[in-house]
Structure 1
Amino acid sequence: MNTTLLALGRRWLLILALALAGCAGPQVQDYARETPALDLRDYFNGNLVAHGVFTDRSGAVKRRFVVQLKGTWQGDQGVLEEDFVYSDGEKERRVWRLQRTAEGRYIGRADDVVGEAQGESAGNALRWRYTLRLKVDGSTWDVQFDDWMYLMDRQVMLNRAAMSKFGIHLGDVTLSFYKP
């Protein structure tokens, strides 16, 4: 009887370990050898433009937008101004105050960000996590963003952000940045 219970317990542990391993996503260090190397201070310095879409959890496009960006850096301190124009004519502005805290580590603040955004980069990738306070149908929601940015070349960076609330996936934001 004890042998049977022990074998059953081992099977459950194996199933649990496999399930947890399946939940593990990519880590920033997985991209450490990818080039070109991303340095936020370099890429987000000067004028850029981004085109993006918000898709709901089924993949349907719900909003399209264009963002004009202007970044300035002094040492490890940066300001990134973002001016959004949505396809329905709505406009929005966000100003990020960024700081490089260590090699490959960044923090950021903006008026509609709850607390601090945390960023980690390696190789051509940056993972940027934060909670954004969004206006939704007359109310305000605190929505978690898990951004992944990939520098493709000196001019183009792709960005995919998963949005969630209470651990429930709400949708994704996909952007293509272009630096002239």
Structure 2
Amino acid sequence: MRIILIVICSVLLGSCSTSIGEYKGSKPDFAFREFFSGHLKAWGMVTDYSNKLTRRFTTDIVASWNKNTLTLDETFHYLDGKQQKRIWHIKLNGHEISGQAGDVDGVAKGSIAGSVVNWHYLLNVPIDNKQWTFKVDDWLYRIDHEVVINTSTLYKFGLPVGHITLMIKKEKD
């Protein structure tokens, strides 16, 4: 009975999801190349399935372009003193994006519509000396010229198990 209830809830929650197309024409335009260039700073937090805060961090980001490929060199600084590095290689093709990083399985794929980016990928996360793979539904919302809010939901077995919220600010170079 529990399994049937979980499946029904998952289907109902999934059918209520927002489509990237709903943001077509929203302002300000995301202008991916313009926002992700130079130095950026981010502040973020991780919450579990019950919205309990589990981690806080800051991130230093260096964004550089080579033709239509963006390299995002991210250094995460967690409040517990640990650091993590992630280097994204993201290709921009019109309103479509794809990317790869060392802790991402396969290729992340998504779209840009108006002031919003949405993409999906599988993220490998070490937890208690074990490797866990989560499906990530990642949304970036352009607030203004200097700020993007990033919200990500992590799924395991089709159920939401955590969230990442991040504010990214473009630094003046």
Using the size of structure 1 for normalisation, the TM-score is 0.86
Aligned counterparts, 1:127-142, within 5 A: 127-142=118-133
Q: 1:177 aligns with which of 158, 163, 168?
A: 168
How much does 1:133 deviate? 0.7
Output the CA distance in 2 between the equivalents of 1:23 and 1:91.
Answer: 37
Residue 168 (structure 1) aligns with:
159
The one-letter code matched in structure 2 to 1:112 is D
Output the CA distance in 2 between the equivalents of 1:21 and 1:178.
Answer: 31
The gaps in structure 2 that reach 5 residues or longer are 1-7
The one-letter code matched in structure 2 to 1:100 is L
SS at match of 1:34: coil
SS at match of 1:37: coil
Identity %: 33
* Alignment: residue pair count: 162
SS at match of 2:21: helix
Query: Any idea what the Cα deviations from partners look like across 1:66-97, whole Å, max 9, x if unmatched?
Result: 00001001221110000000010010000001
Output the CA distance in 2 between the equivalents of 1:22 and 1:138.
Answer: 31
Q: 2:143 aligns with which of 136, 152, 156?
A: 152
How much does 1:33 deviate? 1.7
**Segments of 4+ moved more than 4 angstroms:** 19-22
Output the CA distance in 2 between the equivalents of 1:112 and 1:77.
Answer: 19
Residue 11 (structure 1) aligns with:
none
Q: 1:72 aligns with which of 64, 69, 93?
A: 64
1:115 aligns with 2:117: no
SS at match of 2:102: coil
Larger radius of gyration: 1
Residue 88 (structure 1) aligns with:
80
The gaps in structure 1 that reach 5 residues or longer are 1-15
Output the CA distance in 1 between the equivalents of 2:19 and 2:69.
Answer: 25
